[in-house]
Amino acid sequence: MKHMEMAPTGKVGNDLCMHAMGDTTRMPGLVDPAKLAAFVDPLPIPTVLRPEPGKLLTVRMAASQQKLHRDLPPTELWTYNGSYPGPTIEARSGQAFDVSWDNGLPTKHFLPVDHNICGAEADKPLVRAITHLHGAKVPRKDDGYPEDWYVPGKSRRHHYPNAQDAATLWYHDHAMGINRLNMYAGLMGLYLLRDEHELSLGLPSGDFELPLVIADRWLRDDGRLYYPDSGDATAPWVPEVFGNLTLVNGAILPRADVQPRRYRLRVVNAANGRFYHLRFKDGRPFQVIGSDQGLLAAPATMRAIFLAPGERADIVVDFAPLRGGTVELMNDALPLMRFAVGQGAVQDDSRVPDVLRDLPRVTEASASKTREMTLDEYSDCVATPMLMLLNGKRWHDPVTETIKIGSTEMWNLVNLTEDTHPVHLHLVRFQILDRRPYDVDEYMEKKTIRYVGLAQLPPPHERGWKDVVQSYPGMVTRIVATFDGYAGRYAWHCHLAEHEANEMMRPFEVVA
Ligand SMILES: [Cu+2]
């Protein structure tokens, strides 16, 4: 398709859109965030499950009621083990176990299923689920492949080898065609993988390590979740969802009472579509010690971090200078939560070493194969208002990426759209080589890349192992991954859940 057919769509998933949608948007019948008392609810901390090696852990998906703010009625959510976020699963590297993911959901969906979306056709059951452990290197049958969904009343057992480095992983629904709805309904939780090396570093731990699962939602005045639709009941899919309320661990504008000392924050951007530009209101610096796939080589001192859906940040912040004071965690100019720092004297034995781990940078030369992968956006006013594709192909088109197991490949993500897309690969970790501006129009015409600027190295906080990369518009983003571990068919996709659904997701096949 030619450039002219590209949709002149609204900005999706970037600052422009966040501001255009506005965080104070008030629609009739929806909760107005300005009317909610701030920092009155304590920051919820999900229950921690520590499975014993070799044992079976059972986690059950079910509808449940949960208060998201003191002054709001309870909200129906779909959760793992009755809470949003679900329980935090703590695992140790090298200690395998199995989880039985039981589907105890209702048989009717309470959010607008679009039967035009691939995998959600009218002949499919309305409610289906499959849990993907994001960032885990697992056999194909245990990955949570989108087509491995099952219906209420059924369960599926996944084996987690945990044969990888310590990292902030998270689990969430991945059912073909409806996972954007299932995730929005609440089906997600943290999975912290720890290893001996990380535990030896002396980082803040125990009560001084806080998970922060951040995601936006709309709520109706009666407390029910509102998921926007196109206005066409036969094709309700929308290309983006930006709620006006932000939940941190399931609470709107919560407060964490902390001590004047260092804390480790395990941050997940669990939103369907919103990017978060996180900073502290007073501009205080913090140390980023890890990214998606674990520790960086060295801490990166920052005052703000931009996280796309699916991305994680492992952060250490020192509240000692704030004894007796408060500080808000912000998304740009909007507060997300408050830290209220106690008065008492505390002894802080934690530390952040200057060297966190041995982490060699991968090189271009290590790749035995290079693939050019385009990110495309098409206007198709017949079926749907817009369509996002990878390599111009749909999910059901034949597999084009057949990869020899153990081989190292460089994927050049050629973004032809006007938006940033967070690209996630299942199974593997990768490093970002660089991003470089190129002539988009010339590529459309001749399919050749002409660079129009210098290659930009990723900033320090993106130089670790990653499993989501922000592919910027007008840039070629180069990543290098080694496809080791397991053979089989896995998925790669945009982590904007609405894009992924239509149809910014493709299979790749690892072969022996
Ligand atoms: Cu996208």
> What tens digit of pLDDT does each residue of 30-68 get?
999 999 999 999 999 999 999 988 889 999 999 999 999
State whether 116 and 257 are in the same domain: no
Ligand 1 centroid – CA 219 distance (Å):
24
Q: Which of 7-11, 18-22, 137-141, 332-336 bottoms out in mean pLDDT, i.e. has the lowest?
A: 7-11
Q: Distance (Å, rounded) from C-alpha 175 to C-alpha 252?
A: 27
Q: Is 416 part of a structural domain of the chain?
A: yes
Ligand 1 centroid – CA 470 distance (Å):
10
State whether 221 and 370 are in the same domain: no
Q: Distance (Å, rounded) from C-alpha 479 to C-alpha 67?
A: 41
Q: Is 349 part of a structural domain of the chain?
A: no
The reply to whether omega before 445 is within 30° of 0 (cis) is no
State whether 430 and 452 are in the same domain: yes
Q: Is 20 part of a structural domain of the chain?
A: no
Residue 495 sits in a domain whose CATH number is 2.60.40.420
Question: Is residue 416's pLDDT more than 80?
Answer: yes
Give the range of the structural domain holding residue 135, as residue numbers without chain letter: 38-199
> What tens digit of pLDDT does each residue of 317-357 get?
999 999 999 999 999 999 999 999 999 889 999 999 999 99
Three-state SS at 363: coil
Tokens (6 digits) for 86: 């679900």
Q: Is 350 part of a structural domain of the chain?
A: no
The CA–CA distances, whole Å, from 316 to 37, 261, 351 equal: 28, 10, 9
The residue out of 172, 199, 226 marking a domain boundary is 199
> What tens digit of pLDDT does each residue of 445-485 get?
999 999 999 999 999 999 999 999 999 999 999 999 999 99
Whether 417 contacts 1, CB under 8 Å: no
The residue out of 341, 374, 400 marking a domain boundary is 341
Ligand 1 centroid – CA 491 distance (Å):
14
Q: Is 355 part of a structural domain of the chain?
A: no
State whether 398 and 332 are in the same domain: no
- Looking at the structure of the chain, the number of domains it has is 3
User: C-alpha angle with apex 464: 171 to 433, nearest 5 degrees?
Assistant: 115
Question: Is residue 105's pLDDT more than 50?
Answer: yes
User: If we measure between CA atoms, which residue out of 203, 238, 213, 245 comes closest to residue 311?
Assistant: 213
State whether 321 and 394 are in the same domain: no
Longest dimension (CA), the chain: 66
Ligand 1 centroid – CA 389 distance (Å):
9
State whether 215 and 331 are in the same domain: yes
Identify the band that residue 316 occupies on the pLDDT scale cut at 50, 70 and 90.
Answer: very high
State whether 317 and 288 are in the same domain: yes
Q: Is 354 part of a structural domain of the chain?
A: no
The CA–CA distances, whole Å, from 254 to 185, 262, 329, 338 equal: 20, 20, 10, 7
State whether 225 and 192 are in the same domain: no
Q: Distance (Å, rounded) from C-alpha 34 to C-alpha 22?
A: 12
User: 367 phi and psi, to 5 degrees?
Assistant: -85, 130
State whether 299 and 249 are in the same domain: yes
Ligand 1 centroid – CA 500 distance (Å):
7
Q: What is the mean pLDDT of the chain?
A: 93
Per DSSP, the residues of 397-460 read SPP--EEETT-EEEEEEEE-SSS-EEEEESS--EEEEEEEEB-HHHHHHHS---B-S--BPPPG
State whether 400 and 434 are in the same domain: yes
State whether 456 and 331 are in the same domain: no
User: If we measure between CA atoms, which residue out of 83, 181, 165 comes closest to residue 128?
Assistant: 181
Q: Is 88 part of a structural domain of the chain?
A: yes
Ligand 1 centroid – CA 86 distance (Å):
26
The residue out of 306, 341, 376 marking a domain boundary is 341
Ligand 1 centroid – CA 503 distance (Å):
9
Ligand 1 centroid – CA 256 distance (Å):
33
State whether 293 and 435 are in the same domain: no
Q: Which of 6-20, 58-72, 399-413, 436-450 bottoms out in mean pLDDT, i.e. has the lowest?
A: 6-20
Q: Is 380 part of a structural domain of the chain?
A: yes
